[in-house]
Each structure stands twice: as structure tokens, then as C-alpha cells.
Amino acid sequence: MKLFSARLSFPLLLLLLLVGLLLAPHFQQMASASALCDEKCGVRCSKAGVQDRCLKDCEICCEACNNCVPSGTYGNKDECPCYRDKYTGEGKRRRPKCP
């Protein structure tokens, strides 16, 4: 039974290693995108009254809009139409999602 287990574990280990190598560039790109969003949102939210909420919302919008965040601390949303057009819900309580 031990020999059977060793035969299965080597191909499985090899498969996991191969999958890890194939996905490594994807994880690296995600990490760099996150760092870029952190930097852009840090500037965007630098003067916000509630910074932690601003940063959280901005980072969500940044990643959803392919790292696009308007310049400055307020306004300029026409630079990023995706960012500008994100709203919370529908109806009376609908408001812009991205700071």
C-alpha cells in the first residue's frame, strides 16, 4: 500500500508544481496592480474625512476599472468613465460608489 501511495504522490506533486509555475505571473500581476491602486488611492483619499472608507471604496473601484483612478483629490472623474459610472444600488438611495 505504501508503494501505491508514493506512485500517486509524485505525479500529483509534479502537477501542483506545474500549475504553480503557470499561475505565478498572474499572481505577480495582481500584486503589482494592487500596489498601483494603493498608491493612486492614497493620493485620491489624502484629504478625505473618513480615510479608511475612502481607501476601501477607491481600491475596489480601481481594481474593477483596470487601475484607473482620476487624478487629484476630488473631481476629474471624466478621466476614468468606468470609475465615474459606478453606483451603489438603484432607486432613491443610489449614489456614486467611487470617491
Model pTM?
0.63
Domain range enclosing 49: 31-99
75 occurs within a structural domain:
yes
HSE-CB at 20 with a 13 A cutoff on CA atoms is: 6
pLDDT at 5 (0 to 100):
54
Q: What is the pLDDT of residues 34-88, one digit of tens each?
A: 788 999 999 999 999 999 999 999 999 999 999 999 999 999 999 999 999 998 8
Task: Indicate if the pLDDT at residue 21 is higher than 80.
Answer: no
Q: Render 35-95 in DSSP notation, one character per residue.
A: HHHHHHHHHHTTT-SSHHHHHHHHHHHHHHTTT---SSSS--GGG-HHHHT-EESSGGG-E
91 occurs within a structural domain:
yes
78 occurs within a structural domain:
yes
Overall number of domains in the chain? 1
